[in-house]
Amino acid sequence: MEKNIGIFYGSSTGSTEKVAELLCNAFGQERCMVINVEDASKADLNKFAYLVLGTPTWEIGEMQEDWLDFIAELKKADLKKKKIAIFGLGDQEASADSFADGAGRLYEAVAEKATVVGAWPTEGYDFAKSMAIKDGKFVGLIIDEDNQKEKTPERVNAWVKMLKKEFK
Ligand SMILES: Cc1cc2nc3c(=O)[nH]c(=O)nc-3n(C[C@H](O)[C@H](O)[C@H](O)COP(=O)(O)O)c2cc1C
């Protein structure tokens, strides 16, 4: 089977990398490739019809640092025909006022250029503010490995089930 799903992630302490791998396992290894944005180029974006983009939030409300560099490439890429899904990691207790803001910033960077799919309900999380909410839902899958690690597998599987209807 053609690998038409590219899972691009940035990760400083490994949690987003772990979730990227879990997502690829759930899609099926034969369908996807996991790529660290630290090593990625614009050409890598062109290889896939479907992009899954993941960032944790760092420095109070920012994308992970490797994304800050790669976002320029993403903005230059032709994303018109792509379907994109976003995932984000954050800490809803320690960062209740900027929970998963990085995912919201990533969404803003691509929303006008591509079709973004995979909005995710906010139920089951406890926080005050998040830039990752659009029309009452998260812009994509939000994972909290700091406080709700036990929920990660079921969240990943439910989201991938949803995305499989979009990613043919
Ligand atoms: C210094 C620092 C700042 C952080 N800032 C935020 C934040 O503003 N919002 C948030 O939701 N999480 C924040 N976090 C939590 C991380 O996003 C979370 O631990 C994430 O799982 C790390 O992912 P990584 O291991 O892939 O780098 C912060 C963590 C640290 C250590």
Question: Which bin fits 135, alpha (ψ -120 to 50), beta or left (φ > 0)?
Answer: left
* Residue found by looking up tokens 């396992």 in the block: 25
Of all protein residues, whose CA lies closest to atom 22 belonging to ligand 1? Answer: 56
What is the DSSP secondary-structure string of 99-112?
TTHHHHHHHHHHTT
144 Cα nearest atom in ligand 1: 21
List helix spans (H) across the chain: 15-27, 42-46, 65-76, 101-110, 152-164
- CA torsion sign for 20, 158, 114, 165 is positive
pLDDT in tens, 77-131: 999 999 999 999 999 999 999 999 999 999 999 999 999 999 999 999 999 999 9
Q: What separation in Å is there between the alpha carbon of 30 and the centre of ligand 1?
A: 31
pLDDT in tens, 127-165: 999 999 999 999 999 999 999 999 999 999 999 999 999
Q: Please, what are the domains in the chain?
A: 5-164 (3.40.50.360)
6: its two tokens: 């590219």
Mutate to test the pocket of ligand 1, among 18, 19, 57, 125 (most ligand atoms within 8 A of CB): 57
Using DSSP bridges, classify how beta strands 137-138 and 133-134 pair: parallel, antiparallel or unpaired. antiparallel
User: 55 — phi, psi (to 5°)?
Assistant: -140, 145
* Cα end-to-end distance, the chain, whole Å: 12
- Residue 124: predicted pLDDT: 98
Q: Residue range 4-26: average pLDDT?
A: 98
Residue 1 has pLDDT above 90, yes or no: no
- Residue 67: predicted pLDDT: 96
64 Cα nearest atom in ligand 1: 27
Q: What separation in Å is there between the alpha carbon of 2 and the centre of ligand 1?
A: 34
- Residue 94: predicted pLDDT: 98
- Residue 168: predicted pLDDT: 87
86: its two tokens: 């976003």
User: Which residues does ligand 1 sit against, CB inside 6 Å?
Assistant: 11-16, 56-61, 64, 89-91, 95, 98-101, 145-146
